[in-house]
Structure 1
Amino acid sequence: MTTNSHYCPLAFVFIMIIIYPHVHGECSLDCGSHGGRCLQTKIPDMSEICSCPDGTYSNSTCLDVADGQENNVTSINIHARRLLAVCEHSFCGDTGVCIVIDSTFGCICPDGAIADRCTANTNNAFISYCTGGCLNNGVCNPLTGACICPSGFMGVRCEIARSTDLCRDIVCRNGGVCNVISPTYATCWCLLGFHGDYCERQTVAPRCASSRCYNGGTCYEHSPASTIFAYCLCRPGFIGSRCEVEYFRCPTNGFYADAYGCAQGKYFECVEKTIIISRSCPRGLRFNFFLGRCDYASNVACPAL
C-alpha cells in the first residue's frame, strides 16, 4: 500500500482491524462508550490515540465526533480542513500507511508501530543544516534537517538573498501586483480602494465617523499621502468590507487552515476551544497544518473559494 492516496474513511476501518493486534500494554485514554479503542503510539507528545468506530482517529475521545460537535462549523471550514489533510506529504515511506489524527498525522509502519514516520533503520542519521538555526525567517524542517526559505532567499540556512526571487509565491489579493522595492523587500501594489500587505483591506468610508464595522470589527483610518480613508479590521474568522461574514469557528483546540488567507500564509490557532488567534508564515510560505509548520507553497493546496 502506498502513501500517495487520498484520505479514505473506509480504508481506516480496515487498517484499524489490522493494527490492533500489534498494540501491547495498557492504555489510559478514555475513548468513550461508542466503540472507540485506545492505541499506544510512538508519536512524540501523543503516546496514545483513540481509534473510533467511524474510521477516524483522535487524540482526545471519540465522543467529540459521536456527539456531533462539528455541526456548528461552517462548511467552508470543514472543506478547508479536509482538502489539506491528505497524506501525500507524510513521511510514512512506501510501505507505511498514513492516518489522520485530528490536526496532525501519524504512520502505521510495517512492524505495527504507530509513529510520526516510518524508516527502514531508525538509527540512520541525517545531516541537519538547521540545527544552528535558519536565517532570514527560514523555517526548520525537523524531519529532513533542511531550512525552508521564504521568498527571496535560498541556501542551506536561507543565507543567500535573490532579489529576483522576492515575489516568488507572494499572492496579492483584489487585483494587486507584487513588486520588488529593494534588494531584500517586495510588496503588493494595490488598486484604488485597497491596501494592506496583500491588498486585503478595503475602503469603506472617508472617515471612521461615517463607518460601521460588524461582529466586533474595529474601524481604522489610513492616510497615504494627503488622502484619508477608513477600513474595518475584522476579528479572526470574519471577512467582508464591514466584517459582515463569519467563515470560521473553532471546533476544538489546535491549528486550522484559514480558507481566505491560506495563499498569504495565514492560519488559525484555537485555544480554550473558542478563542481564535490569527497566525502568519514568513512571506511566500504557507502553513501546512497537516505537518504542523510553515512549508513551501508548492506543498500546500489552498481551498477553492
Structure 2
Amino acid sequence: MWRLQTLRLVSALGLNLRRTSAQRSREELIFSFQQFKLHFFCTLLLGESTLNDFWGPHCTNKCQCRNGAKCNPITGACVCTDGYQGWRCEEPCDAGFYGKDCMLECQCLNGATCHHQTGECLCAPGYTGAFCEEPCPPGKHGSLCEQRCPCQNGGTCHHVTGECSCPAGWVGPVCAQPCSFGSFGINCSQECTCRNGGLCDHISGQCQCTAGYIGERCQDECPVGTYGPQCAHKCDCQNGAKCYHINGACLCNEGFKGPSCQDRFCPAGLYGLICDKYCPCKTANTLSCHPLSGECTCAAGWAGLYCNETCPAGYYGEGCRELCACANGADCDGITGACVCAPGYIGDDCSISCPAGLYGTNCTSSCSCHNEISCSHIDGSCICKEGWQGVDCSIPCSSGTWGPSCNQTCQCANGAACDPVNGTCTCSPGWREEYCDVPCPEGSYGPDCRERCDCLNSDGCDPVAGICRCLAGWTGVHCDSVCEEGRWGPNCSYSCTCENGGSCSPEDGTCVCTPGYRGTNCRRMCPSGKFGKSCAEPCVCTNNGTCNPIDGSCQCYPGWISEDCSKPCPPGSWGPDCIHTCNCHNGAQCSAGPFLPSPPYNPSFPPYYLLSFIEFSATVQKLFGIDQAASQFNNPCFHDVINLLRLRTFPWK
C-alpha cells in the first residue's frame, strides 16, 4: 500500500511575465502584473514503504547502497551515511578524513588515527589525550597507557615500548641489578679507581677506603699519629715510637719497650748499653733521657741540649716546636701557649684593641684627653681633634695654624681669619675667594662683598668700608655735590689759585678768568686792543681811544665821543667826553681835542635777499573719477597729486 504524503514542485518551464501597468507613489514604484503563464512538472513523493531497497518506475530496480546508505527512489543514486564514500558507499573515508562526505580533516597527533565516522582519535601506543597530544604519565606505557612500568630503583620506562632507562649504578631489564665490582655510573660504564683494597660505590664511584688509608682514591696512608678506618683513631705510642697506620700497633725505638713503648730499658737517670751513664738533663725541665744515647726530651716550655733554656719568643710546648698564635706583637707562655698581650690589647689571641677611653697593659688605665679624636690604646697619648693641640688636647690652635694637632699652616691673606678645624678662610671686609686674596669686584664692598656701592660721579668705592672715591670735582658721602667755589679735585681737596675773580674747574683746577684777564692764574690783564673773556674780543675804539679790558667800553681821547670814539665833539664843546664848553670869542672856534686825521669813509652794507613764494589751497568735495577730477585742474602740480592718489586708498568726502 502507498500513502500520499505531499506534492512538491520539482521544475517549472515557460515562465512568462508581462507588465501591463505601473504606478509611482511618493517614495516607491508600484508595478502590477495582470497576466502570466506557468508550465511545471510535479513529482509525487510517497511515504515509507516496505519496499525501500528499490527505486525507479514501479520500484522495480534494487538499490546497491551499503553501510546504511539510502538510494534516491527516482534515480537510484546512493546518499552515504557519515564516514563512507564511493558510488555504493562501500568505502570508509580516506585516512585523515571523517564525517559527512568525508570532508572533515582529522585533528589527531603523534601518529594517531581517527574514526572515519565520528573523528574520535585512536591513539598510538604511548600517547593519550583527546588529540593524543600527551605521552603516557610516569609509570604507564603502551596502548591506551594501561600497562604499568616494571622499572625499579628509580628507573623510568619509555612511554611507548615500556623499556627501562636505569639510573646510575643499576642495570638489567627492570634496573634490579647493581653494577658489578669495579664499575659504576650510568649503564655501569665507568671503571672504579680505588686503591689499597678500597671499595667503589656502584652509583657515585666514591671510594670507601679500608682501615689505614684515606684520599679520594684511597691512595694515602693515615697521617702520622692516626690509624684505623678513615684514620679516625689517635696513636698511643710514647717516646717517639711510630704506630702502624692500619691497626695502631706501636713500633718502639731502641731503648724502649711495652705496648705503648712507655718503659725504658735503663732505670731513671741512667743510660747506655749497660745503663752505666748518668743522664746530663736538668731533671726539673726534662721529661726523659734516652736510655741508649742519653738525649734529653725537654718538658713543655724548655729547650736546649740539656733542657736548661726557655723557649724562644714565638714558640712554646714540648721541644718548643709549637708556634704561638698571638697577634699584635704579644708573647706567649712557653708551657701553655697562653698569650701575654702587649699594652693596648686584650683577648685570648690579643687581637682586640682597648675600648675607647682605656689604654695600657690589660687596658686598665683611663685616658685623660680633652677635645680628642681618640687616645692611643697603647700608651694613652692623645690624638687631638682638628683645632686643638697639647698633651691633653686642651690648647686651641694658635693664630695661623689649623688641623689635627694644629700642624697645618693657614693660607688666608689680607687679615682673614682661619678656621682652626678645617682651615677655611673667613675674609675681612673687601676681600673674597678661597684665600681672600682677591678684592671685591667694582661696585661692591664689605664682608663677602655683599654690599653694593651707593656712589654717583665716582671711581667706585672703598672695598672695605664702601666709602665713595669721588671723581675730580665732586664731593659728599655719595659724590653727589659739586665742589664749592674755590675748591677742586677729588673730594674737592685742592684750593683754587685763580686771581682777579677767576674761577677754577672743579675737575682739574684750570682757571676760568673773568673778562679782561688772562694767564694760568688770571694775573695778567688783556693786552692793548683786546678785551672780554679770554681777551678774545678786539677793541673797536678809534681816534686813539682806549678800551676797557673787561667789557670793551671805549675811553675816548679828548675831543671824541660815541661808543667807538668816532664822533668829534659837537661845536662849542671840547675835552674828555666833550664835557667842556668852548670859551672862544669873536667868532673863534675851539679845538675839541688833538687833531687826528679821519679814516676814509667806507660804509659796508648788509646783503639783502628777495624771498618769493606762492601759497594756495583747495578743498575737493566729491570725486567721480580720478581722471575726471584731474581734468578739473589745469595746474600741472595738481596732476602730480592726482597721480599719487591713484596709488593710495583715499576716503573721499
Given the two structures, how large is their TM-score scaled by the length of structure 1? 0.21
Which structure features the higher share of helix residues? Answer: 1
Specify which structure has the bigger relative contact order, considering alpha-carbon pairs within 8 angstroms and separated by 6 or more residues. 1
